[in-house]
Amino acid sequence: MSDTYDLVVIGAGPGGYVAAIRAAQLGLKVACVEKRSALGGTCLNVGCIPSKALLNASEKFSEAEHHLADFGIQVGKPKLDVKALMARKTAIVTGLTDGIAFLFKKHKIDWVQGTAKITAPGKVEVAPDGKGKAQTLSCERILIATGSESTPLPGVEVDEKKIVTSTGALELAKVPGHLIVIGGGVIGLELGSVWKRLGSKVTVVEFLDRIVPGTDADTAKRFQRVLAKQGIEFKLSSKVTGAKASKTGVKLTVEPVKGGDAEEMTADVVLLAIGRRPLTAGLGLEALGVEMDKRGAVLVDADFETNVKGIFAIGDVIPGPMLAHKAEEDGVAAAEIMAGQSGHVDYNLVPGIVYTWPELATVGQTEEQLKEARIEYRKGVFPFSANSRARTVLDTEGQIKILADAKTDKILGAHILGPDAGTLIHEICMAMAFGGSAEDVARMCHGHPTLNEGIKEAALAVDGRPIHM
Ligand SMILES: Cc1cc2nc3c(=O)[nH]c(=O)nc-3n(C[C@H](O)[C@H](O)[C@H](O)COP(=O)(O)OP(=O)(O)OC[C@H]3O[C@@H](n4cnc5c(N)ncnc54)[C@H](O)[C@@H]3O)c2cc1C
């Protein structure tokens, strides 16, 4: 292993490992420092992948328990084996993280295990956790891809057993009787859904008067109604001011945001999911004078370079949507720029997906954003209840909404609540990436019977001429 590199990447999440691979493909000599014992970052180890493994397993359980009979299939009462379910999740994670190690070998990327600190531009000190002597890597450029961590809440001390972050919620040994989720965002709703389907009573306590902040308000309202129908309880406009864990459970103090009497709630497990914040502690950025914003996100220019020459940053640690695919796109663009090519990521085209059932998927602008920007738009809405494929699979909850510029018809945003919304949204992303109009989508022949026909109908509805409504 050499100590001199063209590029040293700090963090092997979807931002860092993808940047490392792309840079190696372009001929750069790359090392990637990662403090975990496995590659893949938050996403593969304790984020996207294990949560989707549990969502998928719990969906199957819920189908067997509640829905297969609707298709004329009697399977009796399904029995849950939490240990086997967790073992499957772990096997999926290990398979994928090992896959990244294989890709590193294939591209001759050195994985340096340990905690990195930038001591000067071009110098990265790596402390192998616990044992061994620190080594210093020298390089032309440094790429910070250290990601994010769960945001703490004063008065709520996480022990990852009774008061957990998403990491603990992915590891529970048994189904909690009552799970209180603090925060009605993506992570809280996904993991709340997992444990609800597996048998918990789930209550979501949210500070705002709505769930999934930042998404299209009317779609979020419909989403909340659907989740409530599934049995998830919501306590909106409420703030948690304290939580105390004991042997028997957790006591929470909750106050109305607008003022009023505090109330006590009890739970077996509390999931703290109020968001994530950039992770830069211990990197030495303050001493180097690297600029950060109020949230602690590292500020970069259009080339992903910080104010200190030769130090770049990508992914969750910089401003923008905190999503794995955004981090990957950042990584590719940054590597290409470093190799003398041009790279760019359009954050307006980054889809956001909540992998509950039904799924919520969104891209581009919301109605609220368009109104605020005084952009005149037309709206086309099509319900899944009028889509033949949705009816054959008994998944008729939700709708597709397309927003298009009133003058040019260019698609400005789309908000889908429904079956496979996370897959469907990519048809709109593609149209938007090519500057497409609602008419372009409406004129395209769509296979029948497919859920995508709903997109065609919503595009037709923008012009007031859906066929099946
Ligand atoms: C429960 C959960 C579910 C999620 N589901 C989704 C989803 O379905 N889809 C989606 O797009 N996003 C999802 N996310 C978000 C996604 O995980 C992040 O957006 C993504 O991982 C960010 O990638 P990154 O490379 O910027 O950082 P990370 O993946 O956080 O990787 C950063 C890495 O840097 C390492 N590191 C940090 N500091 C140092 C240091 N000083 N030295 C060495 N190594 C260091 C960390 O150990 C970590 O491995 C989810 C997150 C959570 C928590």
pLDDT tens, position by position, 105-128: 999 999 999 999 999 999 999 998
Distance 238 CA to ligand 1 centre (A): 29
Instruction: Enumerate the H helices of 131-268 as residue ranges.
Output: 166-169, 186-197, 217-229
Q: At 163, is the pLDDT very low, low, confident or very high (cuts 50, 70, 90)?
A: very high
Task: Provide the strand spans (E) within 3-98.
Answer: 4-10, 30-34
If asked whether residues 325 and 231 sit together in one domain, one would say no
Pick the atom of ligand 1 nearest to 191's CA.
1
Q: Spot the catalytic one: 66, 344, 448, 468.
A: 448
Question: What percent of the chain is predicted at pLDDT more than 70?
Answer: 99
Q: Which of 274, 296, 328 is the last residue of a domain?
A: 274
| 415 occurs within a structural domain | yes
- Mean pLDDT over residues 170-177, rounded? 98
Is the beta carbon of 168 within 6 A of some atom in ligand 1? no
The residue assigned the tokens 């914040």 is: 277
Q: What is the pLDDT of residue 364?
A: 98
Ligand 1 atom 35 nearest Cα = 11
- Give Cβ neighbours of residue 107 (< 8 Å, ≥ 6 apart): 20, 21, 24, 25, 30
Is the beta carbon of 145 within 6 A of some atom in ligand 1? yes
Can 448 be counted among the known catalytic residues?
yes
Quick check: 3 pLDDT over 90? Answer: no
Q: Which of 229, 244, 274 is the last residue of a domain?
A: 274
If asked whether residues 59 and 169 sit together in one domain, one would say no
Q: Which residues pair with 141 in a beta bridge?
A: 7
If asked whether residues 439 and 408 sit together in one domain, one would say yes
If asked whether residues 8 and 145 sit together in one domain, one would say yes
Is the beta carbon of 315 within 6 A of some atom in ligand 1? yes
- Mean pLDDT over residues 458-467, rounded? 98
If asked whether residues 281 and 266 sit together in one domain, one would say no
| 404 occurs within a structural domain | yes
| 183 occurs within a structural domain | yes
pLDDT tens, position by position, 295-312: 999 999 999 999 999 999
Q: How far apart are CA 308 and CA 146, in angstroms?
A: 17
Quick check: 136 pLDDT over 70? Answer: yes
Q: What is the pLDDT of residue 114?
A: 97
Q: What is the pLDDT of residue 2?
A: 59
Q: How far apart are CA 94 and CA 261, in angstroms?
A: 48
Q: What is the pLDDT of residue 130?
A: 66
Q: At 132, is the pLDDT very low, low, confident or very high (cuts 50, 70, 90)?
A: confident
Q: Which domain holds residue 298?
A: 4-149+277-345
| 328 occurs within a structural domain | yes
| 304 occurs within a structural domain | yes
Q: How far apart are CA 44 and CA 32, in angstroms?
A: 16
Quick check: 403 pLDDT over 90? Answer: yes
The pLDDT mean for the chain works out to: 97
Task: Provide the strand spans (E) within 135-177.
Answer: 135-144, 148-150, 163-164
Q: Which of 345, 365, 387 is the last residue of a domain?
A: 345
Is 189 in a helix, a strand, or coil?
Answer: helix
If asked whether residues 175 and 232 sit together in one domain, one would say yes
Question: What percent of the chain is predicted at pLDDT more than 90?
Answer: 98
Quick check: 169 pLDDT over 90? Answer: yes
Q: CATH number for the domain including 199?
A: 3.50.50.60
Quick check: 138 pLDDT over 90? Answer: yes
Q: At 448, is the pLDDT very low, low, confident or very high (cuts 50, 70, 90)?
A: very high
Sign (positive/negative) of CA torsion 81, 87, 88, 93?
Answer: positive
If asked whether residues 327 and 281 sit together in one domain, one would say yes
If asked whether residues 335 and 359 sit together in one domain, one would say no
Q: CATH number for the domain including 436?
A: 3.30.390.30
| 28 occurs within a structural domain | yes
If asked whether residues 269 and 172 sit together in one domain, one would say yes
Is the beta carbon of 43 within 6 A of some atom in ligand 1? yes
Quick check: 1 pLDDT over 80? Answer: no
Q: How far apart are CA 434 and CA 429, in angstroms?
A: 9
Pairing verdict, β 30-34 and 4-10: parallel
If asked whether residues 11 and 145 sit together in one domain, one would say yes
- Mean pLDDT over residues 257-262, rounded? 96
If asked whether residues 145 and 27 sit together in one domain, one would say yes
If asked whether residues 33 and 95 sit together in one domain, one would say yes
Q: What is the pLDDT of residue 460?
A: 98
| 236 occurs within a structural domain | yes
Burial state string for 297-306 with b = 16 or more CB within 10 A and e = fewer than 16: bbebeeebbb
Quick check: 131 pLDDT over 90? Answer: no
- Mean pLDDT over residues 433-460, rounded? 98
| 469 occurs within a structural domain | no
Do residues 292 and 285 touch, judged by C-beta distance below 8 A? yes
How many independent structural domains does the chain possess? 3
